[in-house]
Amino acid sequence: MRRQCLLLMLSSLGLGACGGLDNEPFREGTVRGRLTEFDPAVALVSVVGAPDVRSGVDAQGRFTLKGVPAGPAELFVLATEDKAARVPLTVQGGQSVDVPDVAPRAAGMFFLKLHARGSLKVTDAKASVDGTPIEAASLDDRSPRRLGPLPEGCYGLSISAPGFVSTALLGCVDAGKQTALNVELVPEESYVQQGCARTGCADDSHCAPDGCCVECVDDSHCSASEACSGFRCEASFP
């Protein structure tokens, strides 16, 4: 009986030791592959949902991604300014996966135009395509910006700007085409209360004495055939 108890105790200790093993190397794997077409100045391979796991390519278009989370994954491939690809695969922890040669296809683009509710001025905005390395900074309400290239499909976008509520939306792109996104940013109440003398107004608006951005303050802000009435340009009749 004493011998049986001793064996059970040793068995329990052994299981505890196994549970204490470092399993970290088995939670990640390595992915290798090659692009059949690429621009060295643009080419980048990352993992959808983990854009910081990324790799450039060598002179032959080869790439190596280390630290890829084990399990189902998808590569996000930027090849040239107008070609990209997404490659699904399964990563085995602690192992290396060689993917077949990747042939990039015609990519799509988002054409992003920002404007603010209340015609406030938008500056220093940022936009990113969720789960990818595609991002842009220093956006404003004056100059639309292209976001891409993007393989055909649907993506979440996140947009933020000082003084405005962060915005999330979904957009889809087709191969070789551009998708226009007109995004309205909603100002924070505390930002609105500062008044347009401090926040500024969009280029097609003017700052009224009450602190709001309006279409016009006087007739000089309207065309020759219009007059400013109630802060709006309206047709004038002789």
Q: Which helix (DSSP H) or strand (DSSP E) does residue 10 occupy?
A: helix 2-19
Q: What is the CA radius of gyration of the chain?
A: 28
Q: What are phi and psi of 148, to 5 degrees?
A: 160, -170
Mean pLDDT of 183-209: 96
Query: For residue 22, what pLDDT is reported?
Result: 52
Would the pLDDT of 9 be above 50?
no
Same fold, 26-105 and 108-189: yes
Mean pLDDT of 183-211: 95
Q: What is the pLDDT of residues 167-181, one digit of tens each?
A: 999 999 999 999 999
More confident residue, 203 or 11: 203
Mean pLDDT of 50-79: 96
- What is the DSSP track for 82-95? TEEEEEEEEEPTTS
Q: What is the pLDDT of residues 91-148, one digit of tens each?
A: 998 899 999 999 999 999 999 999 999 999 999 999 999 999 999 999 999 999 999 9
Distance CA 49, CA 51 (A): 6
Would the pLDDT of 11 be above 70?
no
Per the DSSP assignment, residues forming a β-bridge with 183 are: 114
Q: What is the pLDDT of residues 132-147, one digit of tens each?
A: 999 999 999 999 999 9
List the domain boundaries for the chain: 26-105, 108-189, 205-235
Query: For residue 44, what pLDDT is reported?
Result: 98
Mean pLDDT of 152-171: 97
Query: For residue 236, what pLDDT is reported?
Result: 78
**CA 228 distance to own-chain centroid:** 41
Q: What is the mean pLDDT of the chain?
A: 91
At a CB cut-off of 8 Å and minimum separation 6, what does 26 contact? 70, 93, 94
* Closest to 116 measured CA to CA, from 164, 60, 68, 67: 164
CATH of domain 26-105: 2.60.40.1120
pLDDT-derived band at 24 (thresholds 50, 70, 90) equals: low
CATH of domain 108-189: 2.60.40.1120
More confident residue, 116 or 236: 116
